[in-house]
Amino acid sequence: MGEISAGPRLLERSGQLGALHQAYETVRGGRGGVLVLLGGEAGGGKTALVRRFRAECRATRPVLWGACDPLRTPRPLGPFLEIAHDGGPIAGLVERGAKSYELATGIIRDVRERPGLALVLEDLHWADEATLDVLSVLGRRIEAMPALIVATYRSDEVTDRRHPLRRLLGELQGDAIHRMAVAPLSPEAVGELAAPHGRDGRALHRVSGGNPFFVTEVLARDDGDVPLTVRDAVLARAARLGPEATAVLDAVSVVPQHAELHLLAGMPGLDEALRAGMLESVPGGVAFRHELARIAVEESLAPHRRLELHRGVLRALLAEPERADPSRVAHHAEAAGATDVVLTWAPRAAEQAAGSGAHREAAAQYARALRFAAGLAPAERAGLLERRSYECYLTEQTDESIVALREAIRHRRRIGDRHGEATALSLLSRRQWCGGYLEEAAASGREALRLLDDVPTGPEYAMACTNQASIALNIEDYPDAMELGGRALRLGERHGSVEIVVHSLNNLGTMQLLAGEPAGIGKLERSLALAEQAGLEEHIGRAYIHAGWSMTRVRSYHLSSWLDRGVTACADLGLEAWKHYVLAYRARYHLDMGRWGEAAADAGEVLRDAKPVPLLRLMALAVLGLIRARGGDADPWPALDEARDLAAGKGELQYLAPVATARAEAAWLAGVPVEPELTETWELALRRRAAWVLGELAWLRRLAGGPDADLAGVRLLEPYAPQLAGDVAGAAECWRKRDCSYDAALALAGAGDEAGLRAALAEFQRLGARPAATIVTRRLRSRGVRDIPRGPQRRTRENPAELTRREVEVLALIRRGLSNVEIAERLFLSTKTVHHHVSAILRKLGVSRRGQAVAEAARLGLTP
């Protein structure tokens, strides 16, 4: 980055420099760790700032420094590979091929044993998936780490909300996360830099916009002109060099990040390029002072010259193949048009990326190989396509995964590979289901079994069986799921296939849990343990997803620890799609616990960050719709109408039940007919004997005054069994044991006595569920009851956010930084009660975090 110093100081960067030193003093003083997220535009002086910090830093350990590569497909763990050159624990972890979460754990362990680490990670806008996973883990645990981490990025390159770094920046929250920016230089600062050169500072600021790199490049010219672009400035400066130095610049320009000295062996112009300031020495070689300068020189090269240079770099890298980085070799091989080299090294790079958890980069490397695969035999092309399909599947690129696998199936079919075709069809079935193509998924699974009729005991048949068991599970066909799952499990154990055993145990355990059979958790736990031992990342995520599905369906919230563990595990493994599913189920869990603020935060993250997968989106929309319907302070129907549209044509309870129950409840609360919202789902649930769904819909129908449903032959589960039998008090107690206070009040709303209705009203009022409270109030009045509590007191109604007196007290203690436990001790309340108060505060203020609540309360003028 452009040097922006005037003498020994940095212009207009003293505040940021002081903040970095203060953060490191916090670390050295043993007061926890700090993660600094330093953003700014390209050429804004981020590197100059952190280099000055490193030069001035009296670190107890060397400041570690690594940067991300601007390769088309980044190297997995690129900055950590650079750091590993200096040795130390990171080198050992990288050398043995540690995955991202293992590397992060190793760094945390090292820091705790040897405090005082200062780590700089540059250019995270180019970061690979595994690097971001490492930073995600470190960021979530930074408060307990005696380390300073400074991460720089170009803020103008991460404006897309789907950019991986943008999502991570949104997730990283907390007092130990410091956000910092380097702004463009002011006209006064540019004038100060321009004065010694006799230049017009105002004109230079107008043209450069205060960008330090641009200012530096312009001032390096001695012709007095102000160029219109950075490219003009860089190329004009380069034009003053001799032919030998120009040749060095050209060679370095095709090597992103930096060029090792051995790549420039025999080129005598290096000293001149360094003296002219176009290049600088960096650990391991030389580099342009800014990436913009490298790009300007590279883009100025004639096509044949660029091709020649890439071929030269490729020859140098392949001269020492045992030391060559597969990602770099593949990058230069593609640019050089070296087909054989791409086909050898791109798959190696993909395997390396997948091994470190950078699945998106792995998919891109397989795509690179496939661009050169026209001459491969069909079986080899099919293998590349299947591997690309899997990596796309892991990274929410579902449609791309399906396309690749269909092409692989065509190749398998063309050469008569029935077993390979059947296995690919089984995998295609899974991908299609995840994409919402339900009928196609079932058809692919059936075709896989048909192709294997002649080998009904082989491993391929076992794979097809466990896949069909999964289809049966998804449509909640209990007999088929258990029969096919049991058959696949036996065959998987016979053939020693861990993956088939893991998949089958998951199918069987989940189906049992959905049917209300507690024994299913043992199978799910065994499936997860085996998947973790074997490193089957997809199946680790699948275990957490299915735990979330089954526990939220039957409110088995003694299993709730699976949700937080699942979000963390899927994030650590780079399984974004899996993480979003677990978040969607955690949103429902928070809703059922009465934590509406946390529920809205999780659902909002799914809607904001996840790919538009129908099931994911409709689950999150159903939660948001219910929050709005229950609170009565927003229109729930836009969210619920979109959820209904997403579920249209889907013949599975996974899709229909969340939408039908949410819409039926919202209709009851709004006083409109409930029956139209539940008819289709009711009929499907009857066919599937889905006791929980039937119980929930039957109760909503009864509350709305509809006729009792015929449930003869259906074994209802608790609490709905006593609830529908008339024992609403007993049912409410069952709900309370599950911590589902809203559902307890919903049960009591159907009570035939005054005491039950009064208890329901009190709970609805405590939760802020105004529409339900209004309905119960009307029922009490219809019985002649007159002394009915009126809900929030006048003081509450006059509060801009309708906070109760107790909630105002809790908010005051939140502002002082007290935890829930500390607040409970101060106010002589239980921790659970404080948690409910905090959730109510977040919901009423329309925020998802405590810090946001404090800021919003200040904006509204709420004072204790």
pLDDT digits (tens, 9 = 90+) for 169-211: 877 888 888 888 888 888 888 888 888 888 888 877 776 678 8
Identify the residue with better confidence: 453 or 482. 482
Q: How confident is the model at residue 864 (pLDDT cuts 50, 70, 90)?
A: very low
Residues 804 and 750 in one domain: no
* Same domain (yes/no): 60, 142: yes
In a domain, 222, yes or no: no
Task: Indicate if 776 and 801 belong to the same structural domain.
Answer: no
| Dihedral angle computed from the Cα positions of residues 17, 22, 27 and 30, in that order, rounded to the nearest 10 degrees | 170
The C-alpha atoms of residue 356 and residue 373 are separated, in whole angstroms, by 25
Domain final residue, candidates 183, 208, 227: 183
459-474 and 418-434 helices, crossing angle to 10°: 20
> Please, are residues 48 and 10 in contact by the beta-carbon 8 Å criterion?
yes
The reported pLDDT for the residue numbered 16 is 87
pLDDT at 799 over 60: no
- What is the reported pLDDT for 333? 96
Same domain, 765 and 813: no
Does the pLDDT at position 384 exceed 60?
Answer: yes
Same domain, 722 and 848: no
Give pLDDT, residue 282. 84
Pairing of strands 34-40, 177-181: parallel
- In a domain, residue 141? The reply is yes
Q: At 603, which amino acid appears?
A: A
Q: Which of 100-109, 213-222, 234-243, 556-565 has the lowest mean pLDDT?
A: 213-222
pLDDT in tens, 124-138: 988 888 888 888 888
**Does the predicted TM-score (pTM) go above 0.85?**
no
Token pair for residue 766? 């405590």
Do 576 and 676 have their domain in common? no
Phi-psi region of 59 (alpha: psi -120 to 50; beta: other; left: phi over 0): beta
Of 755, 782, 809, which marks where a domain is finished?
782
What pLDDT, on a 0 to 100 scale, did the predictor assign at position 227?
A: 56
Exposure string (b/e) for 346-365, b if CB count within 10 Å is 16 or more? bbbbbebbbebbbbbbbbbb
The three state secondary structure string of 582-623 is HHHHHHHHHHHCCCHHHHHHHHHHHHHHCCCCHHHHHHHHHH
Residue 409 has pLDDT above 90, yes or no: yes
Question: Which residue reads 């009915």 in tokens?
Answer: 788
Could you give the percent of the chain with pLDDT greater than 70?
94
Query: Distance between CA 479 and CA 472 in Å, rounded?
Result: 8
Provide the pLDDT confidence category of residue 110 given band limits of 50, 70 and 90.
Answer: confident
712 and 802: one domain? no
Report yes or no on 415 lying in a domain. yes
Q: Is 18 helix (H, G, I), strand (E, B) or coil?
A: helix
Q: What is the mean pLDDT of residues 507-512?
A: 95
Q: Which residue has the higher pLDDT, 108 or 95?
A: 108
Q: Could you give the CA distance from residue 148 to residue 34 in angstroms, rounded to a whole number?
A: 5
Asked whether 702 and 729 are in contact (CB, 8 A), the reply is no
Side-chain half-sphere CA neighbours of 416 within 13 A:
0
d(CA 255, CA 824): 59
Mean pLDDT over the full length of the chain: 86
Q: Which residues pair with 260 in a beta bridge?
A: 285
Identify the bridge partners of residue 10 per DSSP, sorted by sequence position: 5
Is position 217 within any domain? no
Domain of 705, in residue numbers: 637-782
**Residue 5 pLDDT:** 40
CATH number at 820 reads 1.10.10.10
Q: Per the domain annotation, does 421 fall within a domain?
A: yes
| Domain containing residue 57: CATH number | 3.40.50.300
Rounded average pLDDT over 238-250: 91
Which of 56-70, 510-524, 570-584, 743-757 is predicted with the least confidence, judged by mean pLDDT?
A: 56-70
The answer for 751, left when phi > 0, alpha when psi is -120 to 50, beta otherwise, is beta
Residue 855's nearest CA partner among 12, 120, 47, 173 is: 173
Separation of alpha carbons 299 and 230, rounded Å:
13
In the prediction, which pLDDT does 730 show?
93
Find the helix packing angle between 212-220 and 291-299, rounded to 10°.
60
For residue 552, the model assigns a pLDDT of 94
Report how many domains make up the chain: 4
Contact 621, 646 (CB under 8 A): yes
Res. 797 pLDDT band, cuts 50 70 90: very low
Q: Which of 183, 211, 235 is the C-terminal boundary of a domain?
A: 183
Residue 863 has pLDDT above 60, yes or no: no
Q: Tell me the CATH number at 461.
A: 1.25.40.10
Confidence of residue 12 (pLDDT cuts 50, 70, 90): confident
Based on the fold, state whether residues 674 and 547 are members of the same structural domain: no
| Residue of 802, 776, 795 lying closest to 668 (CA atoms) | 776
327 in a domain, yes or no?
Answer: no
- Do 642 and 585 have their domain in common? no
On whether residue 804 sits in a domain, the answer given is yes
- Residues 771 and 820 placed together within one structural domain of the fold: no
What's the token pair of residue 736?
A: 């309370």
Q: 35 and 174 share a domain?
A: yes
Same domain? 40 vs 137:
yes
Look at residue 342 and tell me if it is in a domain.
no
pLDDT at 8: 41
Q: What is the pLDDT of residue 6?
A: 37
Q: What is the DSSP string of 372-426?
A: T-TTS-HHHHHHHHHHHHHHHHHTT-HHHHHHHHHHHHHHHHHTT-HHHHHHHHH
